Amino acid sequence: MSSDTTTLTGSTGREVGVNKVPIWRRRKAAANYIALLPYVFFALFPFYIMGITSIKTDEEINNLGQSPFWATGIATEHYVYLANNTSFFNHWFVNTLIVTVAVTIISVSIGTLAAYALARLRFRGVEVFGVAVFITYLIPQTLLFIPLIDVINTIDEVVPIRDTYWSLILTYPTFLIPFVTWLLMGYFKTIPVEVEECAYLDGCSRLGALIRVVLPMAIPGIMCAILFSITLSWNELLYSLVFIQNETAKTISVGVITELIRGDIYYWGSLMAACFIGALPIIMIYGFFMDYFTSGLTAGAIK
Amino acid sequence: MAEIQLRDLWKYYDDVAAVRGINLDIEHNEFIALVGPSGCGKTTTLRMIAGLEDITAGDISVGDRIVNEVAPKDRDIAMVFQNYALYPHMSVFQNMSFGLKLRKTAKEEIERRVNLAAEILNIEELLERRPKQLSGGQRQRVAMGRAIVRDPQVFLFDEPLSNLDAKLRVQMRTEIKKIHQRVKTTVVYVTHDQVEAMTLADRIVVMNEGVIEQVGSPEEMYDAPETLFVAAFIGSPSMNFIPCRVEANNGGLSVRLSDDLTFPVPGDRNDRYGSCVGKEMLFGIRPEHITDKRPHTDPTHHDFTSDVIVLEPMGIDTMVFINIGETEITTRSRPRAVSQVGETMDFTIDMAHMHLIDPETEKVL
Of the candidates B81, B136, B139, the beta carbon closest to that of A194 is on B81
Peptide bond into B237 cis (omega under 30): yes
Quickly count: other Cβ atoms within 10 Å of residue A2's Cβ: 6
| Cα–Cα distance, B298 to A99 (Å, whole number) | 94
Write the pLDDT tens digit of every residue in A216-267: 988 888 888 898 899 999 999 999 999 998 888 999 999 988 888 888 888 8
Going across the sheet that includes B310-313, the strands are B310-313, B318-324, B327-333
| Cα–Cα distance, B280 to B255 (Å, whole number) | 10
Write the pLDDT tens digit of every residue in B26-85: 999 999 999 998 889 899 999 999 999 889 999 999 988 899 989 988 888 999 998 888
- Tell me whether residues A300 and B81 touch, CB distance under 8 A: no
| Cα–Cα distance, A74 to A54 (Å, whole number) | 9
Using an 8 Å Cβ cutoff, are B51 and B222 in contact?
A: no
- Tell me whether residues B103 and A203 touch, CB distance under 8 A: yes
Q: B26 forms bridges with which residues in the sheet?
A: B4
Could you give the maximum distance between any two Cα atoms of chain A, in Å?
A: 86
Pairing of strands B203-208, B31-35: parallel
Task: Write down the pLDDT at residue A303.
Answer: 39
% of chain B surpassing 70 pLDDT = 100
User: Taking the domains of chain B in order of start, what are their residue ranges?
Assistant: 4-233, 240-364
Write the pLDDT tens digit of every residue in A181-224: 988 888 888 888 999 999 999 989 999 999 999 999 888 888 88
Is residue B120 within a helix (H) or strand (E), and if so which, with residue range? Answer: helix B107-121
| Cα–Cα distance, B284 to B117 (Å, whole number) | 46
| Cα–Cα distance, B365 to B270 (Å, whole number) | 12
% of chain A surpassing 90 pLDDT = 42
Closest CA to B85 of B170, B17, B147: B147
Task: Write down the pLDDT at residue B326.
Answer: 86
Using an 8 Å Cβ cutoff, are A120 and A193 in contact?
A: yes
Probe site for chain A from B48, B53, B87 (most A CB atoms < 10 A)? B87
Of the candidates B77, B87, B132, the beta carbon closest to that of A299 is on B132
| Cα–Cα distance, B10 to B56 (Å, whole number) | 5
Is residue B199 within a helix (H) or strand (E), and if so which, with residue range? Answer: helix B194-200
State whether the Cα torsion A198-A204-A210-A216 is positive or negative.
negative
Using an 8 Å Cβ cutoff, are A195 and B87 in contact?
A: yes
Closest CA to B343 of B322, B327, B312: B322
In the 3-class helix/strand/coil scheme, how is B285-313 assigned residue by residue?
Answer: ECHHHEEECCCCCCCCEEEEEEECCEEEE
- Tell me whether residues B89 and A297 touch, CB distance under 8 A: yes
| Cα–Cα distance, B26 to B44 (Å, whole number) | 17
| Cα–Cα distance, B11 to B29 (Å, whole number) | 26
- Tell me whether residues B86 and A205 touch, CB distance under 8 A: no
Interface of B with A (CB under 8 A): 50-52, 71-73, 75, 77-79, 81-89, 98-99, 102-103, 130-134, 136, 139, 146, 150, 163
Mean pLDDT of B85-99: 92
Write the pLDDT tens digit of every residue in B303-361: 999 999 999 998 899 999 999 888 999 999 998 888 888 889 999 999 999 999 998 88
Which residues in chain A have Cβ-Cβ distances shorter than 8 Å to B72? 197, 200-201
Closest CA to A300 of A191, A184, A202: A191
pLDDT higher than threshold 50 for residue A11: no
Interface of A with B (CB under 8 A): 192, 194-195, 197-205, 208, 212-213, 216-217, 219, 297-303
User: What three-state secondary structure class fits B218?
Assistant: helix
Chain A residue with CA closest to B158: the answer is: A194
State whether the Cα torsion A281-A286-A287-A288 is positive or negative.
positive
Which residues in chain B have Cβ-Cβ distances shorter than 8 Å to A222? none
Is residue B170 within a helix (H) or strand (E), and if so which, with residue range? Answer: helix B166-182
Closest CA to A18 of A2, A36, A40: A2
Using an 8 Å Cβ cutoff, are B363 and B226 in contact?
A: yes
Write the pLDDT tens digit of every residue in B194-242: 889 999 999 999 999 999 999 999 999 999 999 999 999 998 889 999 9
Of the candidates B75, B78, B85, the beta carbon closest to that of A194 is on B85
CATH among 3.40.630.10, 3.40.50.1970, 2.40.50.140, 1.10.10.10 for B240-364: 2.40.50.140
**Whole-angstrom Cα Rg for chain B:** 25
Write the pLDDT tens digit of every residue in A86-106: 888 889 999 999 999 999 999
Pairing of strands B318-324, B65-66: unpaired
Architecture of domain A88-294: Orthogonal Bundle (1.10)
The DSSP call for residue B227 is B
User: Taking the domains of chain A in order of start, what are their residue ranges?
Assistant: 29-75, 88-294
Band of pLDDT at residue A148, cut at 50, 70 and 90: very high
Assigned CATH for B4-233: 3.40.50.300
Quickly count: other Cβ atoms within 10 Å of residue B293's Cβ: 15
Burial B328-350 (b: 16+ CB within 10 A, else e): ebbbbbeeeebbeeeeebebbbb
| Cα–Cα distance, B275 to A27 (Å, whole number) | 84
Is residue B182 within a helix (H) or strand (E), and if so which, with residue range? Answer: helix B166-182
Q: DSSP string covering chain A, please? A: --SSPPEEE-TTS-EEESSSPPHHHHHHHHHHHHHHHHHHHHHHHHHHHHHHHHTS-HHHHH-TTS-TT--SS---HHHHHHHHHSSIIIIIIHHHHHHHHHHHHHHHHHHHHHHHHHHH---TTHHHHHHHHHHHHHS-HHHHHHHHHHHHHHHHHHS--TTSHHHHHHHTHHHHHHHHHHHHHHHHHHS-HHHHHHHHHHT--HHHHIIIIIHHHTHHHHHHHHHHHHHHHHH--HHHHHH--SGGG--HHHHHHHHSEETTEE-HHHHHHHHHHHHHHHHHHHHHHHHHHH--TTTTS--
